Amino acid sequence: MSQGEAKQGLSGQSIVLDVIYQHRQTEAVFKDYERQTGRCICCQSLFDTLEQAAQAHGLDLAELLARLRAAIAAGPTK
């Protein structure tokens, strides 16, 4: 885990539910992927790690992590 991952507590081993619970703004990232894939990631992979969810839904894990980190860095949505 890199220093950035440790700072945000986000890695491939993070659980989807935990990420959304701790950083509500990340839900928009998952919803965007759901529109792209036609599958409800939050419904089907809520208790999976990000790595498992990415694999199950054909997503690039590095891209998913980058988008989630960007959402977290942008701060809470209003």
Residue 14 CB coordination number (10 Å)? 19
Long-range contacts (CB closer than 8 Å, 24 or more residues apart) made by 33-37: 33/57, 33/59, 33/64
Residue 7 falls within a domain, yes or no? Answer: no
Residue 61 falls within a domain, yes or no? Answer: yes
Q: Which two tokens stand for residue 69?
A: 């980190």
pLDDT < 50 regions, the chain: 1-7
The total number of structural domains that make up the chain: 1
Q: Residue 76 has what pLDDT?
A: 84
Residue 28 falls within a domain, yes or no? Answer: yes
User: Rounded to whole angstroms, how far apart are CA atoms 76 and 37?
Assistant: 25
Q: Structural domain of residue 29, as residue ranges?
A: 16-74
Residue 31 falls within a domain, yes or no? Answer: yes
Residue 20 falls within a domain, yes or no? Answer: yes
Q: Residue 4 has what pLDDT?
A: 46
User: Rounded to whole angstroms, how far apart are CA atoms 56 and 68?
Assistant: 18
Residue 70 falls within a domain, yes or no? Answer: yes
Instruction: Write out pLDDT tens, residues 21-37.
Output: 999 999 999 999 999 99
User: Residue 40 has what DSSP assignment?
Assistant: -
Instruction: Enter the pTM of the model.
Output: 0.85
